[in-house]
Structure 1
């Protein structure tokens, strides 16, 4: 939806300078995938839309008296790797719904929805609240979030 737009051409001098500084310090590979999104676009997101492919992190579950409980998700588990014959660093994509019961842990390949990645009550909540407050003053199209990622 808003991937790989780069740093906005009209970004503030401070933001542009910070991005340039980080890129200089860490190189092109250190910081990547700069993009931005307006509050109007965030409001229009279909939060139930599934990802294009299953999550690269297998979801881990444990049996409890009330049923299976998710305990986490991991891109690497030594226990899982040994059980299925993966070497350290091997990356695999597993089909949706594939499961392995290893010991008392169930590993499952899951396709997440946007709302699973960016929960309403999670760490993004303060960002959405700040954007919403700014949009009330300046308009939905005039408030944007600029991000980039590191390795």
Structure 2
């Protein structure tokens, strides 16, 4: 870990090549439901996602979660639903494409990697990241 001294709080580093990113199954589900309950409101066109929350005081009170549970991860079975004050709370398992959307904040990174790979080859372009505390 001495090589991370210059990065101060870096705990580790990893990378992925453009070839590996191209091979990702973006429809693969997560191993368990999202720890944040997905919140929906009914509209004329059906349910509309309005947010996700790891802790919602209104929900916690309605289902009897004690305040001491605030900030503690909660796990709910896939598909569990609660309708509270017009808001539908649902436990859902996300897919990779929902966590990293095609047109989201990573799009500029993918665009640059793809351009570099067209010149240098898919296996010769990699995204390197490091983790901090």
Q: TM-score, normalised by structure 2?
A: 0.87
CA apart distance, 1:81: 1.4
Residues 37-90 of structure 1, C-alpha deviation per residue, up to 9 Å, x if partnerless?
Answer: 000000000111111111111111001111110011111111111112222223
The match for 2:100 among 118, 125, 132 is 118
Higher relative contact order (CA closer than 8 Å, sequence separation 6+):
2
On the 8 A contact 2:30/2:94 being kept in 1, the answer is yes
User: 3-state DSSP class of the match of 1:63?
Assistant: strand
Which runs of no fewer than 5 residues in structure 2 stay unpaired? none
Partner of 1:71: 50
Q: How many aligned positions are there?
A: 130
Structure 1 position 93 matched with structure 2 position 43:
no
Structure 1 position 43 matched with structure 2 position 22:
yes
Root-mean-square deviation over aligned CA pairs: 2.1
Which runs of no fewer than 5 residues in structure 1 stay unpaired? 1-6, 8-15
